[in-house]
Amino acid sequence: MAPWVGSNHIAGWIQAAGLEFDTPGVNFYECHIWPFHDILTIKIHKIIDYINANYIDGYRKQNAYIATQGALPETFGDFWRMMWEQRSATVVMMTKLEERSRVKCDQYWPSRGTETYGLIQVTLLDTVELATYCVRTFALYKNGSSEKREVRQFQFTAWPDHGVPEHPTPFLAFLRRVKTCNPPDAGPMVVHCSAGVGRTGCFIVIDAMLERIKHEKTVDIYGHVTLMRAQRNYMVQTEDQYIFIHDALLEAVTCGNTEVPARNLYAYIQKLTQIEAGENVTGMELEFKRLASSKAHTSRFISANLPCNKFKNRLVNIMPYESTRICLQPIRGVEGSDYINASFIDGYRQQKAYVATQGPLAETTEDFWRMLWEHNSTIVVMLTKLREMGREKCHQYWPAERSARYQYFVVDPMAEYNMPQYILREFKVTDARDGQSRTVRQFQFTDWPEQGVPKSGEGFIDFIGQVHKTKEQFGQDGPISVHCSAGVGRTGVFITLSIVLERMRYEGVVDIFQTVKMLRTQRPAMVQTEDQYQFCYRAALEYLGSFDHYAT
């Protein structure tokens, strides 16, 4: 095992980084993060061969990665020259350009069109922005060469400005996408954050350990971090990052790989519905039970548990996490006036694309309209009847015939359209304080049975499509607000399928398990029953059947 690297080992290794060359401004963090000279100075021909970057070994693969700092304007040319000379096809960027009003990395790529950086011409071909990461595709040309190369940059945008992610689920999804897209014959994967040691180290260790788990069924996080630190100083910078690595690997091992190419979905579902060898349950039951294995600690429900807010929760055990709850603008002198039982949920392409909320109570109807207005939500999806099985599931929070006032807001019913499987209602909502008004559209799905789930997913898929089409046509920038009774079961199914179907269209893969898991990190109990979970699979398969090119 390589020794831990201390400052007394560094003196002989920093010559190339600052002592022999006149290289002002090429190190992001002066006097701290130097590449070790006797391990590596990335070979860049002519002019100067120095760049603040190191080869890092992977699992059974030397120089699998290059760890580097976030590029500076003075090093843009060097960065792209390194990409070319190392024949790298993938850049992993673990930072935003700015965090907490400080520059973490300069933009070393063109926003559109073509830019020339030193000897390399870089053309932006495509940008795909998703909720937690962004994928950019570039074409590279070198002066004097007719060869064209393609490089993809994956920028993870969900790492918080301070600390580490609350859950490893989005990060693991990001890592899987990076691995899938990196060509097997490419050069080292280039990984950077700001200094190129903390988050960069996390990515590399997790990736290398997942490879090791696949081949050996063992891990050695301490050993691998030690090895990395012998190749680049300070890799994995904080204890929090070190803990996060353990959490991510634990989740990866516990949950396994549930991503399925769309063309294999039918076979995968057939396998899930069979009784597992040595068990008395199906694979579907086991998969759903694995979702419930991580229970949220009560410390995550702070505002929801306050005495002034408890009566606002329809069910005592379904409450929003503090980290994702919708905050209303407080009313002066009214305790708890910023609380509503509602949570922000990320979509496939956009953060906070949805609001998942309970069916309003008589006592929370004013709060509901306040939430719609303050968060500019002009599309409401209702997935329950007002009463089911002889019990109130949702208070009628809208006026039927003539206008009604809910605190600051006057709501005028404008139109009602009765469709075979849903009712569309349109309301004009006016803020009585300043006279501003906007149109809110409510889609009430009427075909969900009072017990269980719909027999076919087709009608529900059409409904999801209609809602999103209307959002694109009329919706403003705000989220789609979705509710059933508790705001987790049918609401979870609607949001899960919205994400799954869009991902299927763009990536050709399906991962129901990880989608639901991601939702449950934002609101507890999303997709509440095994029936609902199975319905998500069935509906995805029915959606797939509507595409000829996936038919098998």
pLDDT of residue 302: 95
pLDDT of residue 51: 95
Contact 50, 23 (CB under 8 A): yes
pLDDT of residue 276: 80
Residue whose C-alpha is closest to residue 169's, from 208, 205, 133, 218 = 133
pLDDT of residue 7 exceeding 60, the answer is no
Least confident of 39-43, 127-131, 498-502: 39-43
Put simply, whether the predicted model's pTM sits higher than 0.85 gets the answer yes
pLDDT of residue 11 exceeding 60, the answer is no
Averaged pLDDT score across all residues of the chain: 91
pLDDT of residue 354 exceeding 60, the answer is yes
Q: Each residue of 226-256: pLDDT tens digit?
A: 999 999 999 999 999 999 999 999 999 999 9
**From 193, 202, 255, 536, active-site residue:** 193
Residue whose C-alpha is closest to residue 84's, from 44, 46, 116 = 44
What are the phi and psi torsion angles at 55 (to 5°)? -70, 140
> d(Cα 267, Cα 277) in Å, to the nearest integer?
17
Q: Cβ atoms within 10 A of the Cβ of 84, count?
A: 21
pLDDT of residue 549: 42
**From 105, 202, 255, 484, active-site residue:** 484
Q: Each residue of 67-108: pLDDT tens digit?
A: 999 999 999 999 999 999 999 999 999 999 999 999 999 999
User: If pLDDT is split at 50, 70 and 90, which confidence band does 551 have?
Assistant: very low
To the query of whether residue 181 is one of the catalytic residues in this protein, the response is no
Q: Each residue of 156-197: pLDDT tens digit?
A: 999 999 999 999 999 999 999 999 999 999 999 999 999 999
How, if at all, do strands 133-142 and 120-129 pair? antiparallel
pLDDT of residue 273 exceeding 90, the answer is yes
Q: In Å, what is the CA distance from 249 to each residue of 92, 203, 208?
A: 19, 11, 11
Q: Cβ atoms within 10 A of the Cβ of 238, count?
A: 14
To the query of whether residue 484 is one of the catalytic residues in this protein, the response is yes
Residue 414, amino acid: M
